[in-house]
């Protein structure tokens, strides 16, 4: 059947046919006895490409990488048969993560290499890895040619009345047995791509053009694979056995990494990484264009890129990361439009279009800022100071020049504290939500603003040597009660600060469990590219690591973020949590006497506050969508499912507008047009008080009401001395 035009035009939230997971660069070489499967008789061989081969420079770099991993990485691993087997599996997952290109027959041909990769990697013999890589590339080309062949036959030949479904995530599925089963899988994948676009009110003619353009683009790039693509993929699968933050940078990737670290290039202010055939957003740079625009989110995957002077999107599925980065970069004030699969999407066919004006990330836009929350509770008025810290920054150039007024997190926060205390605040909330870290010494110095003096963090290297960073300044900028707000995107230096405040009993940590990035990397030059390698690990003054577990809040607030996809514990081969000896430190206040009542008060507010209830509805909705394993390929069933999703989105959005006293939207299109207009003018948006931040203020007020001893750090020190 053919779906008739729906009354709703899909403008801001559309669907497109994703193609599963393609390896980060794949190539073809049929050597060392790995025989290819026969191509379809109808597939044209004329445009096949030449197999890629390793170079002498790559072999030398491989030997250096193997030595550095064995002898200098924090994790002690031997390159033995067991590791060889794990590299084999990880490499295949790297190249065919969604298991849509290879068959069980291919795996049987690869199997003799399983226990030989380790010995080969130690000695720079790269050919086995290249053989696997090149055979996968052959399969990629075959699949894309099959897809084009099917589309060319006419999508009107597809039957959408059948009761069929498609598994959304095949990362844990078995590889199909043979080519015939792979053909059937791809027939369903193409049906899903067509159905998704029909539900977006696209004509069959436009759908065919779109799919042909996408598959032909991927096919052309697959035929142009380079030796460096194979080497980088193989080395990253190998290095990833030690931990997910250890990786190889090719010479071109090294150049991009160095540019990104200097923040000197104009763009959208997003950190990207390869995720099989997609480019994924890792995090947004605070104060950058994407962060200010507000629609792009961590874990979103980029499908296409459109320049402002072009009408046709460039599909980037299957592109190399450096090429996608180059496409997104551009001159200041120009607009780039990204089509992304949102992290919250129920399947890969659901995309959102986001227009972002390129600009430079300015240091002042990353700076800490402050405000005052006024709360009225049972006849009492509370003034709660809030300091928001987007990142841990320091103007290193100004420091090196000897500028006494250089900008830094600690200097700025000290000044903001003085201003807030002059304003007569009763307590302080430090907001570290979405703060991905930054300068380690700033985290150390910032802790020092709230304690007399003492250790702030421990750093252990691979030789078990422990370095303790300390605050040696006895002055205290703020000695009153504190709450530190965190969420899943609070990482690294944020976790060091929050963990120290918690260990010292200096304040309460409120929010959701943090990211868990508790490792330190160094970038080491090779003869060919660079190796980013994990060399040490952070530990709190209480002895527990921030790695893997992150910081667990004293009072938890639910989050929309999918913890199974974002966070250190969601990454393969992440270093585990462990602990070392604690270092002596003052415990300013023991919250155990009031924490149960604080949690009870919070839960009661949560149960009655309409915004918290709405947050829980959103979380439940997203959880339900993420739990969906299959998508229907029956047009009528799919249309009903899509309508239910749209109705739920509109209902939740309107409920929030009603809470805020604003008019509701009649249709989802009205909502999306409004969201687009808001995103287009981020500077013109009203600054609305975050209800989660407001809850941090209420928790602070609860603390003051339950125990007036929190009024100053001096009182806490007296209590601590009496206890000792």
Q: In angstroms, what CA-CA distances link 513 with 18, 227, 244, 495, 622? A: 32, 42, 20, 10, 18
Which residues, other chains included, contact 683 with Cβ-Cβ below 8 Å and sequence gap of 6+? 292
The β-bridge partners of 555 are: 510
Does the pLDDT value for residue 23 go beyond 70? no
Looking at residue 263, its pLDDT comes to 35
DSSP annotation of 577 reads P
Residue indicated by tokens 């080491």: 524
471-504 burial code (b ≥16 CB/10 A, e <16): beeeebbbbbbbbbbbbbbbbbbbbbbbbbbbbb
DSSP β-ladder status, 350-357 and 335-341: antiparallel
The β-bridge partners of 278 are: 275
Helix (H) or strand (E) holding 646: helix 635-659
Residue 585's SS3 state is coil
**Residue 571 CB burial class (10 angstroms; 0-12, 13-18, ≥19):** middle
Is the separation of the CB atoms in 491 and 515 below 8 Å? Answer: yes
Looking at residue 330, its pLDDT comes to 85
N-terminal to C-terminal alpha carbon distance within the chain: 79
Q: Tens of pLDDT along 623-673?
A: 888 888 999 999 999 999 989 988 998 999 899 889 888 899 998 888 888
Take residue 571 and report the two structure tokens written for it. 């990454």
Looking at residue 395, its pLDDT comes to 79
In the chain, pLDDT over 70 holds for what percent of residues?
86
pLDDT tier at 359, thresholds 50, 70, 90: confident
Mean pLDDT of the chain: 85
Q: Has this prediction a pTM greater than 0.75?
A: yes
pLDDT tier at 258, thresholds 50, 70, 90: very low
DSSP annotation of 346 reads S
| 164 closest CA partner among 640, 643, 636 | 636
Does the pLDDT value for residue 131 go beyond 80? yes
The β-bridge partners of 354 are: 338
∠ CA 103-107-111, nearest 5°, is 175
Looking at residue 22, its pLDDT comes to 31
Is the separation of the CB atoms in 711 and 597 below 8 Å? Answer: no
Q: Tens of pLDDT along 377-392?
A: 888 899 999 999 999 9
Q: Tens of pLDDT along 304-348?
A: 899 988 888 888 887 877 788 888 888 888 999 999 988 877 666
Task: Report the distance separating Cα 88 and Cα 380, nearest Å.
Answer: 65
Is the separation of the CB atoms in 100 and 181 below 8 Å? Answer: no
pLDDT tier at 467, thresholds 50, 70, 90: very high
∠ CA 51-117-242, nearest 5°, is 110
How far is residue 343 CA from its own chain's centroid?
A: 9
**Residue 660 CB burial class (10 angstroms; 0-12, 13-18, ≥19):** exposed
The β-bridge partners of 508 are: 483
Residue 720: Cβ within 10 Å count: 16
Q: In angstroms, what CA-CA distances link 653 with 291, 296, 558, 574? A: 21, 18, 18, 37
Task: Report the distance separating Cα 52 and Cα 224, nearest Å.
Answer: 10
Take residue 218 and report the two structure tokens written for it. 């991927």
Q: Which residues are catalytic?
A: 492, 503, 517
Task: Report the distance separating Cα 348 and Cα 20, nearest Å.
Answer: 8
Task: Report the distance separating Cα 234 and Cα 127, nearest Å.
Answer: 11
Q: What is the mean pLDDT of residues 432-445?
A: 93
Is the separation of the CB atoms in 485 and 693 below 8 Å? Answer: yes
Take residue 180 and report the two structure tokens written for it. 């015939």
Residue 498's SS3 state is helix
How far is residue 216 CA from its own chain's centroid?
A: 29
């Amino acid at each position: 059947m053919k779906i008739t035009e729906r009354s709703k035009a899909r403008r801001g939230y559309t669907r497109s046919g994703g193609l599963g997971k393609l390896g980060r660069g794949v190539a073809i070489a049929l050597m060392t006895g790995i025989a290819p499967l026969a191509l379809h008789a109808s597939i044209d061989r004329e445009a096949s490409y030449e197999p890629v081969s390793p170079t002498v420079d790559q072999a030398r770099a491989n030997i250096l990488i193997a030595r550095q991993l064995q002898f200098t990485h924090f994790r002690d691993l031997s390159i033995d048969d067991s590791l060889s087997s794990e590299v084999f599996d990880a490499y295949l997952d790297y190249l065919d993560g969604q298991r849509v290109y290879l068959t069980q027959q291919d795996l049987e041909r690869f199997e003799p290499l399983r226990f030989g990769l380790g010995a080969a990697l130690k000695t720079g013999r790269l050919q086995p890895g290249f053989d696997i890589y090149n055979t996968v590339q052959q399969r990629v080309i075959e699949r894309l040619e099959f897809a084009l062949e099917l589309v060319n036959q006419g999508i009107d030949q597809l039957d959408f009345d059948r009761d069929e479904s498609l598994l959304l995530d095949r990362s844990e599925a078995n590889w199909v047995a043979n080519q015939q089963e792979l053909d059937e899988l791809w027939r369903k994948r193409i049906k899903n791509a067509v159905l998704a676009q029909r539900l977006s009110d696209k004509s069959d003619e436009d759908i065919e053009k779109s799919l042909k353009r996408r598959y032909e683009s991927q096919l052309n790039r697959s035929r142009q694979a380079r030796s460096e693509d194979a080497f980088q993929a193989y080395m990253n699968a190998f290095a990833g056995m030690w931990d997910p933050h250890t990786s190889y940078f090719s010479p071109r990737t090294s150049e991009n990494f160095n540019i990104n670290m200097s923040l000197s290039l104009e763009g959208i202010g997003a950190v990207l990484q390869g995720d099989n055939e997609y480019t994924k957003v890792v995090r947004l740079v605070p104060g950058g264009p994407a962060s200010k625009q507000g629609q792009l989110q961590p874990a979103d995957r980029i499908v296409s890129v459109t320049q402002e002077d072009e009408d046709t999107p460039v599909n980037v599925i299957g592109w190399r990361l450096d090429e996608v980065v180059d496409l997104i970069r551009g001159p200041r004030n120009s607009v780039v439009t990204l089509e992304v699969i949102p992290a919250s999407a129920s399947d890969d066919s659901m995309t959102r279009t986001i227009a972002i004006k390129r600009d430079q990330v300015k240091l002042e836009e990353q700076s800490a800022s402050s405000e005052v929350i006024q709360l009225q509770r049972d006849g009492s008025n509370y003034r709660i100071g809030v300091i928001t810290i987007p990142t841990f920054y320091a103007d290193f150039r100004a420091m090196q020049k000897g500028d006494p007024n250089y900008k830094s997190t600690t200097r700025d926060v000290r000044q903001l504290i003085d201003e807030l205390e002059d304003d007569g605040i009763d307590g302080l909330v430090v907001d570290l939500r979405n703060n991905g870290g930054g300068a380690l010494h700033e985290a150390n110095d910032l802790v020092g603003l709230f304690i007399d003096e003492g250790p702030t963090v421990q750093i252990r290297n691979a030789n078990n040597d422990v370095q303790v960073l300390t605050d040696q300044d006895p002055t205290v900028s703020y000695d009153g009660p504190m709450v530190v707000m965190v969420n899943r995107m609070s990482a690294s230096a944020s976790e060091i600060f929050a963990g120290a405040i918690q260990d010292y009993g200096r304040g309460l940590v409120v929010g959701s469990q943090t990211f868990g990035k508790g490792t330190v990397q160094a970038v080491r030059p090779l003869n060919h590219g660079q190796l980013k390698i994990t060399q040490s690990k952070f530990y709190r003054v209480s002895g527990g690591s921030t790695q893997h577990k992150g910081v667990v809040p004293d009072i938890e607030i639910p989050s929309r973020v999918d913890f199974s996809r974002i966070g250190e514990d969601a990454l393969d081969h992440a270093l585990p949590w462990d602990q070392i000896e604690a270092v002596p430190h003052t415990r300013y206040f023991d919250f155990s006497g009031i924490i149960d009542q604080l949690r009870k008060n919070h839960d009661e507010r949560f149960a009655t506050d309409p915004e918290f209830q709405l947050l829980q509805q959103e979380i439940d909705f997203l959880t339900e969508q993420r739990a969906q394993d299959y998508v229907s390929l029956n047009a009528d069933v799919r249309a009903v499912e899509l309508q239910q999703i749209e109705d739920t989105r509109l209902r939740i959005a309107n409920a929030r507008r009603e809470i805020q006293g604003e008019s509701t939207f009649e249709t989802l299109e009205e909502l999306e047009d409004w969201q687009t207009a808001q995103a287009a003018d981020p500077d013109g948006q009203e600054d609305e008080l975050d209800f989660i931040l407001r809850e941090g203020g209420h928790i602070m007020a609860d603390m003051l009401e339950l125990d007036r001893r929190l009024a100053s750090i001096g009182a806490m020190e007296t209590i601590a001395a009496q206890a000792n």
